Structure 1
Amino acid sequence: MDVFGLPLQTLYLYILMISGILTLVFVFFGDVFDGLFEAIPVPFLQPTLILAFLTFFSAGGFISEKTAIVGSGLGAVLSAVLAVVLVTCLNVFVLVPLSSAEESLSYTEADLKGRTGEIIVSVPKDGFGEVLLISNSGKISKPAVSFDEEEIPYGTRVLVVEVNKGVLSVIPDEEI
């Protein structure tokens, strides 16, 4: 069977190659296009799902034509049904959970600089104590030394001035 002057098998192969290339481009440059497709209120009209459908449909159609187990019309229908099922599974089990996943809760030492906390183990003049930093993502307990080399008693609110090899240098926070 010919469509647009091409054998159906060749047309499926062209669609497969084009949709595969567009999928790769979208994977690498998807952030550029995200703003363009935010206005689309229908979730199944997202480019990721459309490209996945075209890829699955054309791959199924190509295999159907190549093996010639069923006729062209039935092969196209079966390919479309299989593509809808696969795209639905991709959306439900991969894309929706990824879009609702939270960002990483990890932090770097530089992130701790400038944060406030509370002394939970007194800091002596020339020794180590412990400070508890509380944030929206949880609590962090870190060893601490006095930046001004003065004693800081238990329960004092402190400000992290610098971080050196995992040890926080703190001063009492007078604002609180």
Structure 2
Amino acid sequence: MELFGSQIESIYLIVLIVSSLLTVLYIFFGDIIEGMSESTGFLNPTLILSFFTFLSAIGYILEKLTPFGTSAVLGISIILALALDTLLNYFVLIPLSNAEESLVYTEDSLKGRVGRVITSIPKDGFGEVLIESYSGAVAKSAVSFDNIDIASGENILVIDVINGVLHVTIQESFDDY
């Protein structure tokens, strides 16, 4: 069948090539486009590009390998592209966006955390502590909250964070009581 004076297979192939090239451009310049799409909320460029890529690839393959008519191929392609797009969104894009947010920490979230001194903290000076979590480890400069020496290897408790510096005290174990 012909559409706009071209074979339908050629149109599917052209759409596949164009959507693939736009996907590569989106990889390089995606931050600019994401800034513009923040106002719309529901138009995710990744999903739109993947929909056209899936649609054209499935349409091209079905036109070449099956005896179905053009309308049936287009209908099947749309249904399968929507299904694959939905699976891509729920099983890849949403978990990736949630994982990206979970790696972020704020200074307030460090208060009350337990860590270990990796560079001893002198009475009136700075040292360094390591705070470990499921998403990784954070090394921060620290001072003694009680204004005492804290040796390397000691377990500490973060009391406060002021200007990016942790104010820590030695963590007391329950065995002492």
TM-score (norm 2): 0.64
Supply the distance in 2 between the matched residues of 1:146 and 1:46 (Cα, whole angstroms).
49
Q: Trace 1:1-176 onto structure 2 (pairs within 5 A).
A: 1-41=1-41, 43=42, 45-101=43-99, 102-104=101-103, 135=110, 138-147=113-122, 152=123, 160=126, 172=144
Indicate the SS of the match to 2:82. Answer: helix
Q: 1:138 to 1:15 in 2, by over 3 A?
A: farther
Supply the distance in 2 between the matched residues of 1:84 and 1:19 (Cα, whole angstroms).
16
Task: Measure how far apart 1:19 and its partner are.
Answer: 0.2
Contact 1:16 1:55 in 2 (8 A): yes
Contact 2:117 2:128 in 1 (8 A): no
Structure with max Cα Rg: 1
Q: 1:63 to 1:137 in 2, by over 3 A?
A: farther
Supply the distance in 2 between the matched residues of 1:100 and 1:159 (Cα, whole angstroms).
39
Supply the distance in 2 between the matched residues of 1:168 and 1:18 (Cα, whole angstroms).
48
Cα deviation code 1:72-117 (max 9, x no counterpart): 11011001000000000011111111112225369xxxxxxxx9xx
Residue ranges of structure 1 left out of the alignment (5+ in a row):
107-114, 116-133, 153-157
TM-score (norm 1): 0.65
| Structure 1 vs Structure 2 CA RMSD | 3.2
Corresponding residue number in structure 2 for 1:123: none
Q: 1:78 to 1:137 in 2, by over 3 A?
A: farther
How many residues of Structure 1 are paired with residues of Structure 2 in the alignment?
Answer: 136
Runs of 4+ in 1 over 6 A off after TM superposition: 167-170
Contact 1:20 1:55 in 2 (8 A): yes
Contact 2:63 2:73 in 1 (8 A): yes
Contact 1:12 1:62 in 2 (8 A): yes
Identity %, equivalent residues: 36
